[in-house]
Amino acid sequence: MNQIKYKTIGIAFGIVLLVILLGILIYKAIEDSMPISAPPVYISDYADITDGEIRTDVVLCFQQKDNIKYLINLSYQNSESWLDEYPAEPFETYDIQAGDFAEMTYQAEYSVGGEEGHSQYIKKLGDFKQIYAIEALSKRNLKIVSDIWHTVRQADSYPIRIYQNPYADFVMIPANEKYKLFLPDQDKAINFNEYRQVVKPLTINGETKTLRMWVLCNSAVSDDEILDALYQGTVTENPDFFFVGYDSPYPFSFTANGIEQNSLYHAKKMIISKASPETCSYHFMAQELENPEVFTTLPEEVQRELSTSWNHADDVLLFGGKYDESAELTFNDNNQLALVSGNTESSGYVLIYLESGFFENICSKIAE
């Protein structure tokens, strides 16, 4: 009897032990399947504040619709990510107005993080004198390192632009209810009533997409007038508006910060090095290059490249001159395509393949 009793107790104990072990295994399996927990990252509510060096720079006064005046630095930026803008209160005694340029010696305080995100303030102000526009614009020296946003004619709703390449060379700012445009060879601003986005619906490869352009303009000019001038490449013939740039997605693809930017049409760039290339800028439609009488007039190096890499469907742009890999496609003030390059030593040809259909909506003229 006792033997049966002990046997029953042993079996019960074994079952309990088995259940406990099974529970432990299930718990471990669940625990291992859960994401690894980590202590919460401490985020400071306080900004990281640093003092800049004592510098002499050129600034331009602008005024938002809130009537508050600011100064934007035209010759220096502390960060690649944003332009330096300073509240204008320290300059009230100089009676500086929106559209006025000045050269100042100063020390700035830079704040990153906290509630304001990032901001700049004038900590110490030394010499301050107003200067003319032509002198101020000649001293621009903003270099946005590691990308080409300042080369391509890209724009958005931000109402301040500082461009400085051969085909896009201007500064625009808000001035209360209006906008001022400064060109490097003029000492007076051109005034406009609006900074307007003009849109055009497109059908590309069966998809509905939107072409978005930003312009400075006067209220009387219509979107249709602007779209027609942009397509014809005659923008500068109309004093009532000025072409600022294209919004995202950009008309053609390009690479910034090592990443290909979102675009409506695909573009491919080919570089052919040559010591003494023919200076040229051409646009060929696909059917033109299928004509042997046209194809055989091209430089031999270009013919060889086209024979191996062209798909016989894309339009082709051909440029020859002081170009290398730094060459990038952009638009001029008339919305005509042009090529800019940061290089002045190497030379050769640049071939750019653009999807057929691109020039159904974009001006087909090439800037000289």
pLDDT by residue (tens digit) across 21-79? Answer: 555 544 444 334 333 222 333 334 666 888 889 999 999 999 987 788 999 999 998 88
In terms of Cα–Cα distance, which of 173, 169, 217, 204 is closest to 358?
204
| CA distances for 90 relative to 64, 147, 255, angstroms | 17, 34, 40
The helix/strand/coil state of 133 is: helix
In terms of Cα–Cα distance, which of 119, 83, 82, 124 is closest to 104?
124
Predicted local distance difference test score (pLDDT) of residue 116: 64
CB-based contact 242:248 (threshold 8 Å): no
Instruction: Tell me the two tokens of residue 58.
Output: 């050129």
Mean pLDDT, range 286-295, rounded to an integer: 96
For residue 368, the 8-state DSSP code is -
CA dihedral 183, 185, 189, 192 (to 10 degrees): -40
Per DSSP, the chain holds a count of helices (H) and strands (E) of 6, 22
Instruction: Tell me the two tokens of residue 201.
Output: 């619906």
Is the pLDDT at 254 greater than 60? The verdict is: yes
Predicted local distance difference test score (pLDDT) of residue 45: 60
Give the Cα separation of 319 and 298 in Å (integer): 11
For residue 204, the 8-state DSSP code is E
Give the Cα separation of 201 and 354 in Å (integer): 20
CB-based contact 101:57 (threshold 8 Å): no
The helix/strand/coil state of 255 is: strand
Q: How many CA atoms lie within 13 A of 65 on its CB side?
A: 6
Q: Which CATH number applies to 48-138: 3.20.20, 2.40.50, 3.40.5, 1.10.3470? A: 2.40.50
Q: What is the mean pLDDT of the chain?
A: 86
Label residue 281 by pLDDT band (50, 70, 90): very high
What are the structural domain ranges in the chain? Answer: 48-138, 265-360
Residue range 293-341, pLDDT digits in tens = 999 999 999 999 999 999 999 999 999 999 999 899 999 999 999 999 8
Predicted local distance difference test score (pLDDT) of residue 149: 76
Instruction: Tell me the two tokens of residue 197.
Output: 């986005």
Instruction: Please state the pTM of the whole predicted model.
Output: 0.83
